[in-house]
């Protein structure tokens, strides 16, 4: 086998259509030891060098297993977590170095929809108080105008005006999520990061919330980053999908291309776990089982971070050389962090038989 020649990634020129540009974002949490926890003995590399671009008016889906750094990445983009390194550019302006009033002004342009609406809505505040609070901070006006704006926004997400007088615990999970979405949208943001927006909801309610997000995007020209575990939801709503593993981006591609032919071994394993609603196909298709647990982000493996669980592992390079996220020849717009992506695409490299399970349908 001829080893591929890998070159470091080259930064592309800024594009006016890119609303968000993230370059080499890092979020490292210190590990403290000592009697007063004053000695740093290491760092948890929750996000370790993630770069991506999100086009204006599009939806970027971010997937990966628990602990891979998806939520931390989303919070760091909004400065809810302070980045350790890297840059975040919103519409050509850096937000990583902003402080004070400049940061407050930037926050109006980017909002977040949280995973648990009951935890993100203050139980001591009425819906009216929750809705008009961001308006008082960013767009002060007479109280009757603020209340009218809050009622208008609630009606837009399918909630009655009477909801203003109630408290979060008086609503169902789906209704609370609608309130959370309305609160995020009330300032007319440009970028919305939705962190697992439907994972805590029933399946029927999930579809309603996803349809609501799509409706609001069409009406207001919103740009989304949707963080999720549900690969079916991500495929439905996203234009581009990024896959994270252990704090790094391992694959990025258009939604249809990624689901049609994943090229990174981790993405292939994720896709093989998606159930297919056809009993005969489901019984006979190949499924890849990943051995072992997710390594610690405080002590990631050398070389490729996925090599300890990778069914396509080639010991010649995977254990020692760290791959770069790079465009794959013959697959425009596809970026993969794997030494053997081309060989996997062509079928030259196959998974180890011991990690592939092929169920045979019962007679």
Tell me the pairing of strands 248-254 and 331-336.
antiparallel
Q: Which residues of the chain have pLDDT under 70?
A: 1-15, 278, 281-282, 353-363
Q: Going by C-beta distance under 8 Å and a sequence separation of 6 or more, which residues neighbour residue 49? A: 24, 25, 26, 86, 247, 248
pLDDT at 262: 92
- Spatial separation of the C-alpha atoms in residues 31 and 35, rounded to whole Å: 13
Kindly provide the residue ranges of all beta strands, DSSP E only, lying in 6-84, ordered along the sequence: 18-33, 39-55, 59-63
Question: The sheet that has 326-328: what strands, in order across it?
Answer: 110-113, 191-195, 223-227, 59-63, 240-245, 248-254, 331-336, 326-328
302 C-beta neighbours (distance < 10 Å), count: 12
Q: Does residue 52 contact residue 11 with C-beta atoms inside 8 Å? A: no
**Each residue of 46-57: pLDDT tens digit?**
999 999 999 999
pLDDT at 14: 53
pLDDT at 347: 85
Q: Write down all domains in the chain, each with its CATH number in brackets.
A: 18-109+189-358 (3.40.50.300)
pLDDT at 4: 43
**Each residue of 135-186: pLDDT tens digit?**
998 988 899 999 999 999 999 999 999 999 999 999 998 899 999 999 999 9
pLDDT at 291: 79
- Spatial separation of the C-alpha atoms in residues 85 and 65, rounded to whole Å: 23
Residue percentage of the chain with pLDDT more than 70: 91
**Each residue of 317-337: pLDDT tens digit?**
899 999 999 998 888 889 999
The reported pTM is 0.89
């Amino acid at each position: 086998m001829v080893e591929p020649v890998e070159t470091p990634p080259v930064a592309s020129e800024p594009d006016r259509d890119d609303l968000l540009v993230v370059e080499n974002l890092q979020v490292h949490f210190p590990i403290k030891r000592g009697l007063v926890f004053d000695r740093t003995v290491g760092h948890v590399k929750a996000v370790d060098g993630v770069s991506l671009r999100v086009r204006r008016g599009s939806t970027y889906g971010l997937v990966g297993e628990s602990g891979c750094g998806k939520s931390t990445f989303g919070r760091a983009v909004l400065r809810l977590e302070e980045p350790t390194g890297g840059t975040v550019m919103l519409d050509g302006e850096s937000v990583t170095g902003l402080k004070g009033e400049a940061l407050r002004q930037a926050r109006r342009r980017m909002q977040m929809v949280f995973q648990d609406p009951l935890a993100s809505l203050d139980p001591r505040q009425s819906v009216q108080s929750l809705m008009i609070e961001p308006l008082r901070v960013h767009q002060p006006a007479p109280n009757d105008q603020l209340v009218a704006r809050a009622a208008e926004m609630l009606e837009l997400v399918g909630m009655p005006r009477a909801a203003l007088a109630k408290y979060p615990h008086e609503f169902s999970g789906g209704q609370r999520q609608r309130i959370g979405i309305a609160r995020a949208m009330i300032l007319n943001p440009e970028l919305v990061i939705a962190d697992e927006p439907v994972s805590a909801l029933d399946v029927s309610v999930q579809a309603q919330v996803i349809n609501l997000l799509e409706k609001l995007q069409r009406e207001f020209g919103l740009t989304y980053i949707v963080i999720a575990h549900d690969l079916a939801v991500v495929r439905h709503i996203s234009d581009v999908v990024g896959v994270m593993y252990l704090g790094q981006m391992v694959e990025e591609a258009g939604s249809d291309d990624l689901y049609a032919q994943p090229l990174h071994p981790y993405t292939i394993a994720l896709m093989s776990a998606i159930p297919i609603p056809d009993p005969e196909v489901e019984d006979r298709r190949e499924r890849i089982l990943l051995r072992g647990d997710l390594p610690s982000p405080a002590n990631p493996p050398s070389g490729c971070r996925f090599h300890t669980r990778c069914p396509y592992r080639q010991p010649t390079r995977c254990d020692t050389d760290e791959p770069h996220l790079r465009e794959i020849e013959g697959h425009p717009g596809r970026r993969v962090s794997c030494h053997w992506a081309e060989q996997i695409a062509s079928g030259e490299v196959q998974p180890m038989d011991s990690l592939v399970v092929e169920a045979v349908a019962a007679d």
